[in-house]
Chain A
Amino acid sequence: MNFLRSSIIIFVSIISIQAQAVASPESNLELKSPQQLTLYNGAPLEGYARGRVDENGLVFVVPLTVGEAEYTYDARQIKSLRFTDEVNIEQIESLLSLERRDDALALIEQIYLPRAAYLDLLSEQDRKTLCELVPLARHAGDPYLAVGMARRLLMAVEGEAHTSALRDQILLAYLDLPLPDETRKLAQAWIAREPHYGPSALGWVVLAQLEIEVGNWQAALDIALEPIVFSSQYPMEYLHDAYDMAILAAETLGDTPQAEALTDELEARGLPTPEDRKAGHAHE
């Protein structure tokens, strides 16, 4: 591993910085708000992250009265890097609810792209906040961005809950794209990984959706019934979607008793019916 020098002050020339840094495309974005860099052995610095060098290096520029100072730090010296601009999730959700997708997308990119190169240096809380942007990017109509964000965040976040949620978003984004063959493989991998009675039905729901899209209603019904059968009263995400699909498939196949039994059970189990979710999203 390449240990970089600690706190080596190099110079004031922007040109020399750019020559040294191996920056990602995102790192070339202009950072309007300053960032706060906290090192394990010192007080916070306020300045601007200007890219990454080698694998673990951060180039950080601190404005001086005249010119600026450029620092290069090894990631292991850094306690946290905090961006000072506001991350307003509610604002994005509000824009989406108003169908202002382009504006929402712009806001997502405005938040995510400057941070993208520094995900490993952000606090866990900040990374979790960024995770919340992934489904919003999908809703804003950019599943590619959602996949990219989720894949990068997967390398940075910790905790099963978050990694699992990100994998789910990747699967949903593939479904949105649409890339049916790849989605099918991902869904099958998801199913192989997740236990019965687990916290989510997503893999089954996505697979059933793929079958519905090609008119294979019998397979869709059989697949959608899996999480329904192997669920208890403990919460399972996307379970109501599985019910919706199974009911639709049963109706399409002319199996009215099956469709009615599932509809009754959906209500008896207190799961949200399609009417309850009119304003909601299909796969959230």
Chain B
Amino acid sequence: MPPLRPTAWIIIAILGLSLSLRAELVPREQGMQATLQEAMTAYERGDYARAAEAFAYTQATYGQEDAYRDLELQLLPYWGHACRQSGNSTQAIELFEAYLTRADPHAQHRHFVTYQLAEAYQTENMVEQAAATYQRYRAHDPYRPEALVSVLREAELYLNSGQTETGIQLLLSFANSPQVPRTLRAQARLRAVQATQAIGDDTRAADILLSAPWAIDTMPELAVLAFSALRAGDALMRELRTADAILAYRLVPPHSQLVTLQQARLQQLEQIRQQRLLPLAQSVPAFAFWQDYFTAIIASVQSQLEALRSMEDYTPGWQLRLGQAFLRDARPREATLLFRLLAEDNTLPTDIRTNAFYCWAMAQSELEQWDKVVDIAKAFQQIYPKQPLLAQTSYLAANAYQQQEQHSAAIEVLDWLIQSYPEHREQPRWRFTRGLNSALAQDYPAAREAFSRCLELYPNSHDKLQVKLWLGLCWFFPREYKHAISVLDPLLAEAKGHPLEAEIAYRRAMTLYAMAEYISAIDALNWLISDFPDAPQTLPAQVLLGDALMGTGDYQAASEQFSNVPDTDPALYAYAVFQQGKIFRAQQNYPAMIAHFRSYAESSALSPRPRLAEALYWAGWGLAQAGKPEQARQLFVETFARYGNDPQAGEMGELLHALGKQDIWSAAGTNARVMSYETWLEQERAAARESGEFTRYSRLSLASAALLRDAGKTNKADNILYDILEIAPPEQIDAKGLTELGWLLTRQGFSHAEELFSQQLEMYPKNRYTGRSLYGLGTLAASQQNYTEAEQWLARFQAETPYQADAAAVALLRAEVLLQLGQPAEAMDVCEELLTMKAARGRPHAEALLLMATISQEQGETTKAIAYAQRVYTLYRAYPDLLSRAYWQSAQWFLKLGDMNAAKRTLVEMTTDPRLDDFSEHDEALALLEELTQREPVHHKIEVTP
């Protein structure tokens, strides 16, 4: 109820009544004064209905009296106000209009009545009249507080009458006016946001919301702001304006904080109302105006506060959405903090927590914190083993394992997913990923099976072309090119217009190249290059085209093709340059080769060229071949001075080796040597050690050790290598050094060689010593009887560096390891493959055959075992140690089969070859032969002659 005193004082003054009459209800029968007193007293007390009725009674009863006529004009504002307040806006309009018609233009209550009239019009939905009246109200002093508030009322009029755009425009214009106090501006802008959201234009609402800071220290409707901001944030998220969504969500405080803030703001409003109304005690219009204003706004805030208190806490849902906004805005760190908070809060509802777990795992995936992803998925599974989002979270865990190259763990998770959620829509993806992990683990048969099963079950899945591509690749990687091409050929036709078309075309061309189908490969590559000029595969295709042309022997065309490769990809460009150089070398065109590599090394390209040192080495090598040893030496020495201490510089070992050639050190045109290589080496070594250039030092030491080893001083050579290990930090040793030192330790049986190999793989992953390090790691693991790990390293060698010089040795070791792992069929496959390797002809083939003999024997196929051994002593007589083993084993197996004659023949053949006398089997063979000879000759039915 509004305070009454100011009104009463004014009326008393108007009526000239005695003070004794005020604030007392008296019977109407006592006359006009008494009736008016009743009206005024009721008005003072806020009993507007009674006041209005009393005013009407007075007018009806005394309307013709002069006393009343004298007063009537002054009474109209109060009577009209009482009518409006008591819900009779129609009569209020009549009274206010009458007052404005009759009153003096400068009458005291004119502004009050104008505003009240506008309000009454608004109540009666007389929009045009109300708007015009508000505008008239503001006309004489538009920036006085009451006038400013009237703008909000007018805007409300438009919003409620369907003229929404007019209302919003009025609010925005008001909110942007610097002459309006910031609290009112904020109120206007907030109302504009609400109105815009109400008509569904959330984008515009969000833009208005974020257009300026909010006056949060004074604006009344904090809850409205919070909920508008929540809605705006959601809308911005839908539009993927994630940074703006974050800003919108940041306008929201937690529920408990908002309740506290809104409560404090309510108290603040009450205080402001008191402060505002106190000085207005003598001004009825102003008092009534602000009374109405504050009553309305406090009621609104009060109701918002009550709603806020009774509603469910929105905080977790809001935090979840904010976290998702961070995640989509590529800010996973911030997202992690929110999701972790929610996931770990066991007071929260299941849907919030499960979502939080899933999103948390996603955020950690973005951060590549793979261990944490797995931990989150495990925690999720432990708490909510049956929640649907567990599937997606577990898939993230499988991906985490994949990223960590823990493919068997990834496969385990994927198998569990495939079996646990048979109807899940992600089945095709899981099955594809399962196959992918098998492929990455180089288990190509399993990968192919997974891909085939995926295609069989989901022939129309969205990713079917990708699945087929990988199926083809899983034939390509194990070099089953015919199978690969049988998949890729139809796939390319099927992929017409698909984003994967260029990739498939490139892989098909690679397969043709690998099959030595160079003409077909050239056609395929030319088509790819012309039809997909902007595809990422086009550049590698141009390089591969050069290789394919080389394959046909058309070096001229190949050289031109390599020279056409642009330098946009430094690594591919360098490859093309070195391939072209290789052609010059093959053609013994040393001047061209020197110029070519010098041009590459001296290029003024902004970005540093890769393999610079290597290029200079080849330029020097060309000089040496061209009979210019002095220039070659100078270039080598300069190159080593420049790059010798750079661990990433390639060919430094070869450069030192080239410097080791005697003629390099001859004085120009003479046989005299300017210095010996050994002297230069020692001087440089000492200087490098002195200056702490450990990369340079280790390279020179390796070269020095090689010299000593060549001279038969193995121990001294080893000492030099140990010296490197002692003083040079591993990170300053180049790939060659790490590998050689690793092998030094491996040969001595030291397990810490593993650190050096691992360092090499980590620091120089694409280096040509990678294969040697993988072999070293496999050897170490095998020597420690850790056959599973050994198999992983050796399989990786065969997949990544199959043509490396150690390929034959690796194949043999791998076959033995597979045998230890109880996989004789796989071991046999490896040996078979080794027998197809031209580079492994000779001793490796013989060793493979012996191994195959052993495998066959262990599988009970003795006849087959004898056949393999016989191939050794038939075809590989150059290797007496192997011959000795082959004979001895054959003889024993013949005996086992009961073919004593064959056994005797074999032993005779063995013991009559003097080269085999010194081998361990010899004495046993002689003893057995003697024993067999002493036996009575028996004709066995079985005669085994494979």
Contact = CB atoms under 8 A, between A and B. Distances in A.
Give the one of B251, B253, B261, B334 with max A CB within 10 A. B334
B932 interface: no
Contacts of B250: 231-233, 269
A187 B638 CA distance: 57
Interface residues of A, number: 21
A265 B254 contact: no
Nearest to B315: A197
Interface in B318-353: 326, 329-331, 333-334, 337-338, 341
B247 A269 contact: yes
B257 A234 contact: yes
Contact of B337 (A230, A233, A264): A230
A98 interface: no
A196 B250 CA distance: 13
Interface in B65-119: none
Interface stretch (A9-17, A88-96, A161-169, A221-229): A221-229
A280 interface: no
B189 to A, nearest CB: 14
A268 B254 CA distance: 21
B214 interface: yes
Nearest to A261: B331
A189 to B, nearest CB: 20
Given A257-B330, A261-B330, A232 B338 contact: no
Contacts of A261: 243, 329-331
Nearest to A221: B333
A261 B325 CA distance: 13
A265 B341 CA distance: 22
B246 A265 contact: yes
A134 to B, nearest CB: 26
A267 to B, nearest CB: 11
Contacts of B329: 261
B243 A264 contact: yes
Contacts of B805: none
B835 interface: no
Interface string B248-267: 00111110010001000000
B333 A225 contact: yes
A258 B331 contact: yes
Contact of A233 (B214, B254, B334): B214
Interface string B209-228: 00001101000000000000
Contacts of A265: 243, 246-247
Query: Contact residue range for chain B?
Result: 20 to 34
A250 to B, nearest CB: 9
Contacts of B330: 257, 261
A278 B334 CA distance: 28
A270 interface: yes
A175 to B, nearest CB: 24
A197 B254 contact: yes
B243 A270 contact: no
A231 B326 CA distance: 14
Nearest to B213: A270
B716 to A, nearest CB: 43
Given A197-B253, A232-B252, A233-B216, A225 B261 contact: no
A257 to B, nearest CB: 6
B214 A222 contact: no
A265 to B, nearest CB: 7
Contacts of A258: 331, 333
Main SS of the interface on chain A?
A: helix
A225 B340 CA distance: 14
A229 B338 contact: yes
Interface in A186-229: 196-197, 221-222, 225-226, 228-229
Contacts of A269: 247, 250
Given A232-B252, A233-B250, A225 B216 contact: no
A233 B243 contact: no
Contacts of B331: 258, 261
A270 B215 CA distance: 12
A232 B251 contact: yes
Interface in A260-284: 261, 264-265, 268-270
A196 B246 CA distance: 17
A264 B331 CA distance: 13
Contacts of A230: 337
A192 to B, nearest CB: 15
Contacts of A232: 250-254, 257
Contacts of A221: 333
A221 B337 CA distance: 12
A258 B252 CA distance: 23
Contacts of B253: 197, 232-234
Contacts of B251: 232-233
Contacts of B333: 221-222, 225, 258
Nearest to A250: B333
A228 B247 CA distance: 12
A265 B329 CA distance: 12
A226 B333 CA distance: 10
Interface in B253-286: 253-254, 257, 261
A268 B338 CA distance: 21
Interface in B26-85: none
A221 B252 CA distance: 24
B372 to A, nearest CB: 12
Nearest to B225: A233
Contacts of B213: 233, 270
A182 B250 CA distance: 34
A30 to B, nearest CB: 46
Contacts of B261: 234
Contacts of A222: 333
A59 B334 CA distance: 58
A220 B393 CA distance: 29
A18 B719 CA distance: 84
B247 A225 contact: no
Contacts of B252: 232
Contacts of A257: 330
Nearest to B257: A197
Given A225-B333, A265-B243, A234 B254 contact: no
A228 B246 CA distance: 12
Contacts of B254: 196-197, 232
A257 B213 CA distance: 25
A204 to B, nearest CB: 11
Contacts of A234: 216, 253, 257, 261
Nearest to B322: A229
A53 to B, nearest CB: 44
A232 B216 CA distance: 11
A232 B315 CA distance: 12
B712 to A, nearest CB: 51
Nearest to B212: A270
Give the one of A197, A226, A232, A234 with max B CB within 10 A. A232
Nearest to A198: B257
Contacts of B341: 196
Nearest to B323: A229
A120 to B, nearest CB: 31
Contacts of B246: 265
A173 B357 CA distance: 40
Nearest to B253: A232
Nearest to B333: A225
User: Which 10 A-B pairs give the minimum distances between C-beta atoms?
Assistant: A232-B253, A229-B337, A229-B334, A270-B213, A233-B251, A197-B254, A268-B247, A261-B331, A225-B333, A225-B334
14 contacts: A196-B254, A197-B257, A221-B333, A225-B334, A225-B337, A230-B337, A232-B254, A233-B213, A233-B251, A233-B253, A234-B257, A261-B243, A261-B329, A269-B247
Given A196-B254, A233-B216, 4 more contacts: A225-B337, A234-B257, A258-B333, A268-B243
Interface of B: 213-214, 216, 243, 246-247, 250-254, 257, 261, 326, 329-331, 333-334, 337-338, 341
Interface of A: 196-197, 221-222, 225-226, 228-234, 257-258, 261, 264-265, 268-270
